Structure 1
Amino acid sequence: MTDSSVSVSNARVLDALIQFLRLPAVCARTGLSRSQVYRLEAEGKFPGRVKLGLSTSAWIESEIQAWAAARIAASRGDA
């Protein structure tokens, strides 16, 4: 197996595991408004976007889920 086939194989595994969310989905899942998402991201209190293209960016679903879980834990005094 060559290095290029290994990286292609790894990319396929990542594609199966990583789900990107665009802004409307992030807002729907978190209950935050567009401006709140951008403000929290700028303050370093929300996961950062991933640049997918020249004018396209998205958030990684697992990072959004982890952020939500941390918020739940903090609000219940678990953190």
Structure 2
Amino acid sequence: MNTARNDHHEEPVEFIRLPEVKKLVGFGTTKIYEMASQGLFPKQVQLGARSVAWVKSEVLQWNSAKLAEARGQASDSSESK
């Protein structure tokens, strides 16, 4: 069985679709794709010919980094995206 794994915790990867990404970050479709293309947001993963999704843990990590930035706290992940 071929399952995607996260290198850090050996947990299964959970993919989420655009509507859930939009709910989690509060941005619209265009903004999400623009930020991803500029390296400012996690990039989508191609699942099929016309199907993409995002890795939920990456989106949540981005949220945490933005919160830390807004609160004036250092975040290791905010510079690496």
Q: Following the alignment from structure 1 to structure 2, what is the Cα–Cα distance between the partners of residues 75 and 17? A: 30
Q: Indicate which of 59, 63, 72 corresponds to 1:77.
A: 72
Q: Indicate which of 47, 51, 59 corresponds to 2:46.
A: 51
Deviations 1:53-76 (A, max 9, x none): 001010000000000000000010
TM-score (norm 1): 0.79
Q: Within 5 Å, which residues of 2 pair with 1:1-79?
A: 8=1, 11=3, 14=5, 17-79=12-74
Deviations 1:14-58 (A, max 9, x none): 4x7211111111001111111110111011000001010001010
TM-score (norm 2): 0.78
Q: Larger Rg: 1 or 2?
A: 1
Gaps of 5+ in 1: 1-7
Runs of 4+ in 1 over 3 A off after TM superposition: none
Gaps of 5+ in 2: 6-10, 75-81
Q: Following the alignment from structure 2 to structure 1, what is the Cα–Cα distance between the partners of residues 32 and 50? A: 18
Q: Percent identity?
A: 35
Question: Comparing both structures, which one devotes a greater share of its residues to helix?
Answer: 1
Residues paired across the two proteins, number: 69
Code of the aligned partner of 1:56:
S
